Amino acid sequence: MIEITDTIIDVAAVEAAVGGPGAGAVVTFMGTTRDSNRGRRVISLEYEVYAEMAVEQLTGIADDIRSRWPGSAVAMVHRNGKVEIGEASVVIAVSTPHRAEAFEACRYAIDQLKHVAPIWKKETFEGGEVWIGSLADCDHGDDDHGDDD
């Protein structure tokens, strides 16, 4: 499951997509919209995703993971459009036979997503709004994504 969606992400469906009788460990990452960022009170976020290219990039990341961690399964869903406070902007689930690999692979997936995906974000805060630019452009450890780093 690799998807870009305009609606609330069904986390259970993302997790179910990687489950199976051989999956001993499932690690899920959810990046959610925080109510504050860099000292500003955030009202909402809006993502603009170049969907066709994003799906291609995410598919590449998933292929990479399955090759680096044999026996793994990966599912990734990212929101497009407006995301309210508390909602998940991205959900990634990875299953592997053992837990260490599930943590490593899921961490790798979100790091890679932030590095390569053609996704832009507009933050609406008290007093104004700003386009923050592509996640890839500002991937320096504080890239201001849903999880703000």
Q: Please report how close the Cβ of residue 92 comes to a second copy at its closest, in angstroms.
A: 10
Query: Between residues 48 and 104, which has the closer beta carbon with respect to a second copy?
Result: 104
Between helices 99-116 and 51-68, what is the axis angle to 10°?
Answer: 150
Contact map string, positions 1 to 20, toward a second copy, x by CB under 8 A: ----------xx--x---xx
Q: Please report how close the Cβ of residue 122 comes to a second copy at its closest, in angstroms.
A: 17
Is residue 117 a contact residue for a second copy (CB under 8 A)?
A: no
Is residue 24 a contact residue for a second copy (CB under 8 A)?
A: yes
Residues 33-92 that bind a second copy (CB under 8 A): 34-36, 85-86, 88
* Contacts to a second copy by CB under 8 A: 11-12, 15, 19-32, 34-36, 85-86, 88, 97-100, 102-103, 106-107, 110, 146-149
